[in-house]
Chain A
C-alpha cells in the first residue's frame, strides 16, 4: 500500500516562509548591533516586509488547498496578508523613535511583532479550526509579552498580566467550542463541517453551545462588549506603538478567522448565531461610544472607540451577505490607516518623562503645530465617518450592506452611534484648536514617523476620494464564499 504524502506546495506559503526567515534574521543580527543603533533592525524589518510583499504579489489570483486541506491560499487570505504587511510596515515606522524615548529599543521587539504577524497570516489562511487556533495562539503570545514590554512601568505590567490571563482563558473557551463542534461533526475541517451541518435539522443545544463558545472566545480577542474589559487597561499600559499594532492587527486577524468560520462552516445554520452576533454588534457600538465619552486619557478613549468600531464591523458579519462580508474587509483595511494614525498622534506627543496621552495634553496643539493638527483632524473625521475620508466609505458600505438585507434597525443603531462618536472625537479637536495651550507644546518627530503619518493621511484621503479599487478588491476577495448564491435579497 503506497503511503499518500500530503501535497506540499512551498511556493504557495512563500509569504509565511519569508516572514519566518526574517524573524530569524532579526534575532541573529540583533546580537551584532550595539544598543544605540537598534534602529538598524527596524530598517531590516521594513526591508523584509517589502520583500515579503513582493513575494506575495505572484500569489494573487491563486486558489489552492494545502497540507491535507488544513491551509488555504485564496483571494481572501491574500487580501488579509496585504493588510497585515501594511500594518507591520506602519508599526515599524512609528516604533523606531518612540522605543528609544521609552528606553525599550530592543531587537526582540521587532522579532515579537513579526512572530505575531505570522500568526495573523496563519489565521487568515487556516481552513481547519485547528490551524486557525494555532494561528490565534501564535498571534497572541508575542502580544502578551509586547503589552508588558515596558517592564519598569506599572501600568504596562498590569495591562500585560490582565491581557495574558484573560487571553489564555478565552483561548481555552475557543478550544472547548472547537471540541464540541468536533464531537458533533467528527471533523475540524471547515468545509467538512459545513457538509455535516447540512444534515442537522432543528435546534441542537450542543451546536448552539459550541457556536457560543467560539464566538465568545473570538469576542475576547476582538474586544466586543461584554468581553472588552481588558481592552482599556491593555491599550493604556502597552507601549503606544504596540497599542496601535494590536488595535488593528489582532482585530483584523480575529475577524479573518471568524469570517471564514462563519462563511464556510456555520453558513448553513445562520439561525443559530445571527441573533448572537446582532447583540454583540449593538452592545459593542453603543457601550463603546458611551464609555469613550467620559475618558480623559486618549489611549483609553481610543480603546473604547475601537470597541465601538469592532461593533460596526460586526454588522457586516451579522448581515452575512456578499456585500456584508466585503464591507468587513473594506472596513478593516480602512481602519488601519485611521486608527494607527490616531495612536501615532499620541506617539508624536510622547517625550522624555512625558506620556502625552491625556486629552488635555492636546490643548493648543494645532496652534503650535498646524500640520499635526490637520493630520489629527483628518484621522478623527475618518474615525467618525465624515466624508471625504476612508472612514466614511467604510461605514457607508457597512450600512448599505445592512440596509440591503433588511437590517434597518441595525443600520439605524449604527448611524446613530456614529453621531455619538463625533462628540468625543471632536472634544479632542476642540482641545487642539480652541483651547489655549497650557504650556509649551512640543512634539517629537523623526523621519520614519513623518513618513508613516504621510502614508496614513494619504491612505485616508485617497481611499476616501477614490475607493473603487479597494471596494473591488474586497468584493473579489469574498466572492469565493458566495459562488452560486443568489445576488440580491431585498428589503422585505
Chain B
C-alpha cells in the first residue's frame, strides 16, 4: 500500500469536477453559456490530466493498492475515507475522465436550454463515477454509487427525449432497487466480520479487511449475500432479465447521457462483480457460475436478436449493449485470468465503441432530428468523413481483428473455453449475430442512393466533432493492434484476484498444507492494513 506521489492525486482527480460544478453554480451567469461550456470542458480536462498523470507512477507489477489515501471518517461505526486503485480500476478511471471530457464537448451544440444546470449535473456525475472506482471502503463506495444516480436522473429527465419523465424515474427506481440490496449485503458482511467466529471481530467497512473473511465464511451465508449483491450489480450491468430499464434510459437520454451510461455506468456493474462479489464471496461465485453464465448467454443472444429488429438507431445500440455486456459477464465468470482479463479489456472496448456509436447517433440527430433508420440511406456519398468514423466504430463493435473489440472477445472466449466448451459455442453465435445487425444497420444507412431529399445536403462532421471522436478512434486502433500496455497494467492485479478466489474457495480444513500456506501468504490476506 503505497502512494508513489506525495499528494492525494486520486482525491484531486475525483473532486475537481464537483468543485468545478459548484463554481459554475455560483459564479457564472446563465446569460453567458459559452463561458460555462468552456469552463466545464476545462474542468473535465484537468481531471483527465490528473488521471493520465498517474500512469507513469503506477507500478503494474505491484498488486497492492496504489496512490492510497486513508483517514478516519466515521470512527463510531468503523467507516474510513479510503481511496486506492489497482490495475483493475486504473483503466476504468481513465475511461471515465476521457468519456466525461468527450461528453462535455459533444454537448456544446446539442444542448440549447438550461445549460448551466446541464454542465453542473454532468460534472457532479463525473465525481460520482470516479469515486465508485476509487473507493475501497464499502460505505464510501455505496455513497458514491448512489450519489451518481441523482445527476443522471436530471440529465435524462430535463434534457431527454419525448418519454423522458418515464425513462428518468424508471432508471432511478430500478437502480435504487438494486442498490438497496447491495446495502443489505454490505451490512451483513460488516456484522459477520465483527463476529470473531467468521471475521476479525472488528467493526469495519474496509474492503481489504473484509476480503480476509472470504475463506472462513460458510457457504450458505455466501450464497445469500452473493444474491443480494447480484441483484444490485446485475441491474447495473445489465444482465438479462434485469435489463429493461436500459433501452428506455438510453433512448431518452441526451447524447452525452447515453455516452456516459453506456461507457461508464454499465461498467460499474461489472466492476462491482469483480471488486466485491468474486473476492468477498468466492465459494458462492463458483457455485453460481452455471446460473450466471446461462443468463449471460441468454443476454448475448437475446440482445443481439432484439437489436436486429429495431427501427430506432439508439435502441439498436442500446440492445447491442445488453449483448456485449453479456460477453463481459461470461468472461468474468469463467473465473480464470484469461477470461477476467478479457472481460476487463472488453469493458473498456465497449465503453469506447458504444460511446462512439452513441456520439454518431447524436451527430446525425442534431442535423436531422430523427433517429429512425428508415429516414437515412446513402449517407456515404453525402458525409464521407462521417462514414469513415462510423465504419471504424462499427467494426470495433463487431470485433474485427485489428481493432480493439477483437482482442477482448478473443481473450474472453479463450477463458470461457477452458471452463466450458458449450458456453463458448453459444457465445460465438452472439458474435455472428452482432456482425449481422451492425453491418445491416450500416448498409441501410450509408449505402445505396440517397432516399430522402433532406439528407442530400447534410453537413459533414465539423472540427469539434472530429476532435472528440479522434481520441476514441486512436484508442480503438491502439488496443486492437498493440494491446500489450493495457494488458500489462491489468494482468498482475487480475492474476492476484484469481489466485485469491482460487485459494479462498476451499474450506480451511480441506486445504492441503501447501495451499493453506499459500493462502496465509497471499497478498490480499496478509498485508498489514495499519489502522
Which residues of A are at the interface with B, using a C-beta cutoff of 8 A? 367, 370, 377, 381, 386-388, 392, 396-397, 399-400, 403-404, 408, 411-412, 415-416, 418-419, 422-423, 426, 430, 433-434, 466-468, 471-472, 475, 488, 490-491
Cα A397 to Cα B76 in complex, Å, equals 11
Minimum CB–CB distance from A65 to chain B (whole Å) comes to 28
A residues in contact with B74, CB < 8 Å: 466-468, 471
B239 at the interface (CB under 8 A from A): no
Inter-subunit contact B187/A400 (CB<8 Å): yes
Nearest B residue to A476, CB-CB? B76
- From the candidates A387, A392, A475, A488, name the one contacting B194 in the complex (CB within 8 A): A488
Cα A45 to Cα B498 in complex, Å, equals 66
Inter-subunit contact B157/A490 (CB<8 Å): no
Interface size on B, residues (CB 8 A): 37
Complex interface: stretch among B146-154, B279-287, B515-523? B146-154
Nearest A residue to B177, CB-CB? A419
A residues in contact with B187, CB < 8 Å: 399-400, 403-404, 411
- From the candidates B73, B172, B191, name the one contacting A491 in the complex (CB within 8 A): B191
Inter-subunit contact A423/B184 (CB<8 Å): no
Starting from the known contacts A396-B183, A434-B168, 6 additional A-B residue pairs (CB-CB under 8 Å) come to: A377-B150, A388-B147, A400-B191, A434-B158, A471-B74, A471-B77
B residues in contact with A434, CB < 8 Å: 157-158, 164-165, 168
- From the candidates A422, A488, A491, name the one contacting B176 in the complex (CB within 8 A): A422
Cα A425 to Cα B109 in complex, Å, equals 32
Nearest A residue to B180, CB-CB? A415
B142 at the interface (CB under 8 A from A): yes
Which 7 residue pairs across A and B have the least CB separation, nearest first? A415-B180, A387-B143, A403-B187, A471-B76, A468-B74, A490-B195, A472-B76
Cα A183 to Cα B428 in complex, Å, equals 78
Cα A419 to Cα B174 in complex, Å, equals 9
Inter-subunit contact B150/A381 (CB<8 Å): yes
B192 at the interface (CB under 8 A from A): yes
Cα A408 to Cα B214 in complex, Å, equals 21
Nearest B residue to A406, CB-CB? B191
B residues in contact with A423, CB < 8 Å: 169, 173
Q: How many A-B residue pairs have CB under 8 A?
A: 91
Nearest B residue to A412, CB-CB? B184
Cα A423 to Cα B176 in complex, Å, equals 11
Can you list, as one digit per residue, whether each of B160-178 has a CB less than 8 Å from chain A (1) or not (0)?
0000110011001100110
B residues in contact with A422, CB < 8 Å: 172-173, 176
Cα A388 to Cα B183 in complex, Å, equals 14
Of residues 35 through 86 on chain B, the ones whose CB sits less than 8 Å from some CB of chain A are 73-77
Inter-subunit contact A426/B172 (CB<8 Å): yes
Inter-subunit contact A433/B154 (CB<8 Å): yes
Nearest B residue to A326, CB-CB? B76
Cα A367 to Cα B154 in complex, Å, equals 13
- From the candidates A412, A419, A433, A491, name the one contacting B173 in the complex (CB within 8 A): A419
Please list 24 pairs of residues, one from A and one from B, whose beta carbons are closer than 8 Å in the complex, sorted by A's number.
A377-B150, A386-B147, A386-B149, A387-B147, A388-B143, A396-B183, A400-B191, A408-B184, A416-B177, A416-B180, A418-B180, A419-B176, A426-B153, A430-B168, A433-B157, A434-B158, A434-B164, A434-B165, A466-B73, A466-B74, A472-B76, A475-B76, A490-B192, A490-B195
- From the candidates A387, A411, A412, A426, name the one contacting B146 in the complex (CB within 8 A): A387
Of residues 73 through 116 on chain B, the ones whose CB sits less than 8 Å from some CB of chain A are 73-77, 114
Nearest B residue to A393, CB-CB? B74
A residues in contact with B146, CB < 8 Å: 386-387, 392
B188 at the interface (CB under 8 A from A): yes
Cα A412 to Cα B185 in complex, Å, equals 11
A residues in contact with B114, CB < 8 Å: 367
Cα A468 to Cα B386 in complex, Å, equals 55
B390 at the interface (CB under 8 A from A): no
Cα A408 to Cα B183 in complex, Å, equals 12
Cα A466 to Cα B76 in complex, Å, equals 11
Can you list, as one digit per residue, whether each of B331-363 has a CB less than 8 Å from chain A (1) or not (0)?
000000000000000000000000000000000
Minimum CB–CB distance from B510 to chain A (whole Å) comes to 24
Minimum CB–CB distance from A436 to chain B (whole Å) comes to 12
A residues in contact with B184, CB < 8 Å: 399, 403, 408, 411-412, 415
Cα A388 to Cα B176 in complex, Å, equals 15
Residue among A381, A412, A426 with the highest chain B CB neighbour number at 10 A:
A426
Inter-subunit contact B76/A490 (CB<8 Å): no
Nearest A residue to B182, CB-CB? A415
B240 at the interface (CB under 8 A from A): no
A residues in contact with B149, CB < 8 Å: 386
Inter-subunit contact B158/A403 (CB<8 Å): no
Inter-subunit contact B73/A468 (CB<8 Å): yes
Inter-subunit contact B158/A433 (CB<8 Å): yes
